[in-house]
Amino acid sequence: MADAHIFWPLLQREAYALTRHRALQVGWAAALAGGIAVAATGDPQSRVWLLFQIVYYLLPLLALLGTVMLVRQDLGEAPLMALLPGASQARVAAKATVSTAYLLGLLLLLVLPSAFGGNAGDFLLLAVGGALVVLVCACLGVWRGFCAGTEVRAYFGALGWWCLLLFGSGALAFAAHQWLAPSATPVATLATLMSNPLESFRIFVFFGLNAVPMNPQTSNGLALWWMAHPLVWLAAISLPFASLPLLRAGWGLRYRAHGAE
């Protein structure tokens, strides 16, 4: 567990460094400009779908790569601090907290300008689901940043996770259609979608906006439950994808510090 006496000073330091980081300030300005540009185009429904494309495709990539950048820029600081009980976990938790807060700011700056133009409930739905995606990607980025042996490996690892989240379920579903019996294909496809937080976010938005035509009479029990509780499942699948990488990053940081003794 992270030591609160170590965590709070680290959190304050990380927050201060974040406010002084010029590239991140540019990111906030770009997000606000993008949000205003989206709000000025089309009707509310088209704005929701345009923002969904940004949150689904672009924001996870920025979250992964940006978090890796934040971690790697000061990875060599105070290596022996990780030897203190709870220090590794505190450092990882502080970095994840600040990174997630920054990315949530980007998300709000993108979504809020359009929310004032109508259909605020749809934009709130998009923001809630996007916040869980941001949390997952930030934690994965922290893990790759702390545990990768080199900076190049850290960035390529983050890029690999983005590709896996974006295309992995589709590839597995295609394989299921090719290799499994027709009776098992729907269950296998459903399982691949539900095991991916990014795909779960997509289905959550589609269900929330009533954009998925599904016949309850032809759906199995698991699909019906998912249709009725998409946010519950998105939160449930996001929790292990966020917590396990942070635990792994804390262990890796402490192991690296012991190796440097």
**Tens digit of pLDDT at every position of the chain (261 positions):** 556 678 888 889 888 888 888 888 899 999 999 999 999 887 888 899 999 999 999 999 999 999 999 898 877 665 555 555 567 888 899 999 999 999 999 999 999 998 887 778 899 999 999 999 999 999 999 999 998 989 999 999 999 999 999 999 888 888 877 887 766 777 788 888 899 999 999 999 988 887 665 655 556 778 888 888 899 999 999 999 999 999 999 887 776 655 544
* CA-to-CA separations, 78 to 75, 89, 155, 212, 230, in angstroms, rounded: 8, 14, 23, 51, 43
Considering its fold, how many domains does the chain have in total? 1
Query: Which residues neighbour 25 within 8 Å (Cβ) at sequence distance 6 or greater?
Result: 19
Which pLDDT score is estimated for 217?
52
Residue at 151 is within a domain: yes
**Which of 57, 231, 235 has its CA nearest to residue 135?**
235
Residue at 35 is within a domain: yes
**Which of 38, 191, 198, 193 has its CA nearest to residue 129?**
198
Which pLDDT score is estimated for 219?
62
Which pLDDT score is estimated for 187?
79
Residue at 188 is within a domain: no
Separation between Cα atoms, residue 79 and residue 53, nearest integer Å: 40
Residue at 47 is within a domain: yes
**Which of 135, 127, 122, 136 has its CA nearest to residue 108?**
127
Which pLDDT score is estimated for 2?
55
Which pLDDT score is estimated for 83?
53
Residue at 71 is within a domain: yes
Residue at 175 is within a domain: no
Which pLDDT score is estimated for 110?
95
Which pLDDT score is estimated for 237?
96
Residue at 196 is within a domain: no
* CA-to-CA separations, 57 to 60, 64, 161, 165, 250, in angstroms, rounded: 6, 12, 13, 10, 28
Q: Where are the beta strands (DSSP E) in the chain?
A: none
Which structural domain range is residue 104 located in?
A: 4-164+238-259
Separation between Cα atoms, residue 124 and residue 48, nearest integer Å: 10
Residue at 182 is within a domain: no
Which pLDDT score is estimated for 212?
63
Separation between Cα atoms, residue 111 and residue 103, nearest integer Å: 12
Separation between Cα atoms, residue 172 and residue 75, nearest integer Å: 36
The overall pTM is greater than 0.85: yes
